[in-house]
Structure 1
Amino acid sequence: MEVVLTATDPKLGQRGQVIKVSPGYAHNFLIPQNKAKLATASNLKSFEQEKARRVKEEAQAKSHAEAIAEKISGLSLTIEVLVGEAEKLFGAVTTQDIQEGLAVQGIRVEKKDIHLEEPIKKLGAYTVPVKIHPEIQVKLKLWVVKKKN
């Protein structure tokens, strides 16, 4: 019996793939758990349309991410912080601070996309990797400077 997978399964295959399974396995397990549908012409057509739509959306997301990456790569972000004795920061510069600094520049990224190994606790220049898309990562030049009173 042929079925179309509605979810990716490591043992069976990728979503949208047509596979042959025993009728009992299909009717008793795959179909009731919404892991597969019968491989009818209408189901195959709907999966092809969905696949084309997903490919188009992915291409749009990637082009949008490339535009953001271009903006970030040409940017030098400066964050002003309060410091105490010996130029030690009060607190630390975190992904939240970097996200807010980018938002002021008109660039929207998620905190989870900004990769700091640990919060920044000293003044200076840093290179911060920002993963905008699974295939696109860019390095942001970050300056942490003393706030003027």
Structure 2
Amino acid sequence: MEVILRQDVKHLGEKDDVVVVKPGYGRNYLIPQGFATLATTSAKKVLAENIKQAQFKQEKIQKDAAALATKLEAVKLTIGAKAGESGKIFGKVNSLQIADALKAQGYEVDRRRITFEEEPKNLGEYVANLNLHKEVKVQVPFEVVAE
């Protein structure tokens, strides 16, 4: 019996895979639990079209991320923070402040995609890692200055 998996099933396959299973396993477990659908010819055609469209969307998203990454390579940010006389800032610079600084320059980046190599707790220069796509990453330097 051929079925199309709707989600990842351990030891069987990943989402959108067409797999051959024993009829009882497919009829009594996979299909009623919503893990799979019957692989008819029309369902296979729909699956092929959905995969084609999803691939096109992913290529477009990756291309947009790559274009944004080339623009962000030339950006240098300055973040103001309250600091003591020793150069230690009160609190720390977080990803929200970096996202706001990028937004002020006209670049929209989700704050959850921003990480740091070293936590910025003192005045000085640091690097923020932006994960724009799973294959597109860019490093943006920024400087923390006293307000």
Query: After TM superposition, is the score higher than 0.5?
Result: yes
Shift of 1:111: 1.7
Question: Equivalents in 2 of 1:51, 1:57: separation in Å?
Answer: 10
Shift of 1:124: 0.8
Q: Which structure 1 residue ranges, 5 or more long, are not aligned?
A: none
Q: How far does residue 96 in structure 1 lie from its aligned partner after superposition?
A: 1.1
- 1:53-132 correspondence to structure 2 within 5 Å: 53-117=53-117, 119-132=119-132
Cα offset, 1:122, TM superposition: 0.8
Cα separation, 1, equivalents of 2:107 and 2:11: 41
Question: Cα deviation per residue 1:36-70 (whole Å; 9 max; x = unaligned)?
Answer: 11110111011111101110110011011111211
Give the whole-Å Cα distance in 1 for the aligned partners of 2:10 and 2:106.
41
Match of 2:11 in 1: 11
Q: Contact 2:117–2:129 (CA<8 Å) still a contact in 1?
A: no
Corresponding letter in the other structure for 1:122: N
Moved more, 86-95 or 62-71: 86-95
What TM-score results when the alignment is normalised by the length of structure 2? 0.93
> How far is the alpha carbon of 1:119 from its aligned partner?
3.7
Partner of 2:34: 34
> In structure 2, what is the equivalent of residue 134 of structure 1?
134
Aligned counterparts of 1:48 and 1:82: Cα–Cα separation in 2: 56
3-state DSSP class of the match of 1:106? coil
Question: Which deviates more from structure 2 when the two are superposed, residues 65-74 or residues 80-89?
Answer: 80-89
| Cα offset, 1:90, TM superposition | 2.3
Q: How many residues align?
A: 147
Counterpart residue identity of residue 44, structure 1: K
Superposition deviation, residue 117 in structure 1: 5.0
Q: Gaps spanning 5+ residues in structure 2: where?
A: none
Identity across matched positions, percent: 35
CA shift, 1:116, in A, is: 2.1
The two structures, once aligned, show a CA RMSD in angstroms of 1.4
Q: Alignment partner of 1:85: what SS?
A: coil
Q: Which has the higher strand share?
A: 1
Letter in 1 for 2:133: H
